[in-house]
Amino acid sequence: MGESHMQMPLVFELDPPRGLSLTAAPDIHRPLQQQLEFDFEFNCPFIEAEYYREGAQDIIQKILPPDFLEPSPYQAASQRARFSDMIPQVRWSEMTRAPCSLSVLLLCKFRQNACHFFYDMISRWLLPTRKVNVELFFASDVRLPHLSDDLLSVAEIVVYVKSLQEMEEVRRNLHTIETEIRLGVVSNYHARRILEFKGLSTDGKTAMIQEKIGSLIQSHSKDFDRGIFSQMQHFLVTCREDFKKIRDYHHISRIISNIHSVQKVLQQQIAVLPQKRHVMVKFLKTRLYVEDGIRKDKPVLGVLVGLNFLREHELFNHHHAMTAIQKLSPHVKAVEGSVIAEKDKDSSLQLVYLEIEKESLEDFSFDEVQSLRSRLPDLLTENVEQLTHPIFMPRNEEEVLRNIMALSRQIRYVNDMPQVIISFDEQKGDDLCFTIILLRVRSENGRSIQDLFGQEKTAVRFLPEKVRKLGSIRRKYAKEAALVRALVSMKDFMRLDHSVDLYRARQSVLAEVVRLVGEVRDFNGGMILKQQELLDDLKMVLGRQAEQHGLLLEQFFYSLMPMEMRSVLEPDPLKQWFLMLLQTSKVDFRQRRKTGDWLCKQDSRRVFAVFPDLHPKQSSLLQERIASLGLAQHKLVSFSLVFQEIPYLGYLLFSESQELQAKVLDALEEPLPV
């Protein structure tokens, strides 16, 4: 069937084209059907076929050299070889003056959409800066049995050139376009790449995406099913036009196919392990074609993240993904307008696609992508945000008064250090509010509380509320109590999982108080300070491991029991214990369920143990066994935490007694009922 009714509408002029003459048209005086074997089939009963037959004959007569038009039994082999070498053939008419009509002819082997490509190249790119007027377009499929066994396509397009300037521009462009047409009509791949480079229309790009997705189903039937068509339709409808414009069809097809495959794999994993957090990350390198004065491309890295929610009020979007990415690659930024987020209404799946680029606009190396591939999933898991409602709890004025009296009893001499109690009050919008109770001895010429806290602008906003005199020392130096409200920005103390680190926020408030007032005694923060010092030391000895697993390290440290051990232990045993926990957390979850393995380490002074994924009843039984040994609190330290939805239980025994170590190991090694 001819291209005339498959690819483009036929366009006819009632008047003959103006000034049309073919440079290579042979002078033929006999009807074409008498000179060569010519097959033309047109089986539509509603259209007169004879007109199309004559049109196809006329194009062949104009484009073929005379010696090809008449079959010769003596030269048949050489004619067929020469014909195979010469096609595809592109010819055009002479342009002697303006205005005039230009006819461009095509003869090539049949390829689906070849004539469509031919029309698009001439109509859109003969004069790239303006739209040409197409006066006529004709395309059909024919057979020339004495020259080729292949089905052939013939086409003619006539465009109107209205000025001398246009004629000169057409002459400059024709030779380039001829080369591109020859490549495009032969190869579907080259046709796509040429149109992509020139700026394919959105409709054309959509058609190529549909064709690409269709070929995926045919070639990868096990990986892709018919559901990918719904995914493609949803993507193309919801995707912005500017997103599709600067990305080639191949990359958009990869995004759609990867979204489909990630969604499918995650659904399978959730069906097997519904209580576990599943995370998948795919990386797609590409180049964006942007207009910035001149057309240019820039390298970017596409990141597709898929994960499941485990609770009702969890949140994950491109901001959370960028936080995790920038933790590993600080010098990258998100490409504007590149974010696509999809949440399955019928399930807990969330998919986020975004593109990142380097500030230097350099390409991403293989090692950089591999580093992201290995380390990013854990960070993404830690960045899932848990939405919580702010707590309303009015301040207890009676408790404030008791604290003031307690601090007053701490100051008995003129040179006593100021006493401070800092307590968290409430979350107010984006601010964390703390209440500060300050007791000090004020000298006669000392600055007032309002002067200390009310004038200088700092990272902490201080709002003095009450100042009272609580007697005097030596009847000369006044004891002064001040109630001050402190506000700090919550954004400065967000952890990876978007929870707020109140310890660090409180330390920041205390540091500002010391800077303004001078050295003070932190009345209710002594143990907190010691804990923070030990945690800092532990981070230092762990080095890079602490940076990569900061959230797990904090959970581990603040779950240590008895609580007072968080401020008196040495960093080295805690380092060994944490590395054991880290090693256990990397064991495959399903294998762990099968084997029930636990990790143990023993030296002359200590016994370390970590149990992963114990059932609550098993955990209770194990704790009862250890408690029955009656060990002193300072000899046995434990932790219990849940990380990535998996519970962990650990014990650390401090003892040089081989007998005691053996008792503990026996209790730990005794099998637990399943």
| pLDDT tens figures, 157-215 | 999 998 888 888 888 888 878 888 888 888 887 777 777 666 555 666 777 777 777 77
Helices (H), 586-615: 589-595
Is the pTM above the cut of 0.85?
A: no
How far is 113 from 142, CA to CA, in rounded Å? 15
Residues of the chain with pLDDT under 50: 1-36, 293, 295, 589-595
How far is it, in rounded angstroms, from Cα 286 to Cα 252? 10
Q: What pLDDT does 344 receive?
A: 67
pLDDT in the model for residue 648:
93
Predicted confidence at residue 525, as pLDDT, reads 81
* Three-state DSSP class for residue 81: helix
Three-state DSSP class for 91? Answer: strand
Strand extents, DSSP E, 359-448: 385-386, 419-428, 431-442
Is residue 45 within 8 Å of residue 129, measured between CB atoms? no
Q: What is the pLDDT of residues 76-128, one digit of tens each?
A: 788 888 888 888 989 999 888 888 999 999 999 998 888 888 998 888 888 87
- End-to-end, the C-alpha distance of the chain in Å comes to 71
> pLDDT at position 364, please?
93
Using CA atoms, how far apart are residues 402 and 387, in angstroms rounded to an integer?
35
- Given a contact cutoff of 8 angstroms between Cβ atoms, the answer to whether 407 and 481 are in contact is yes
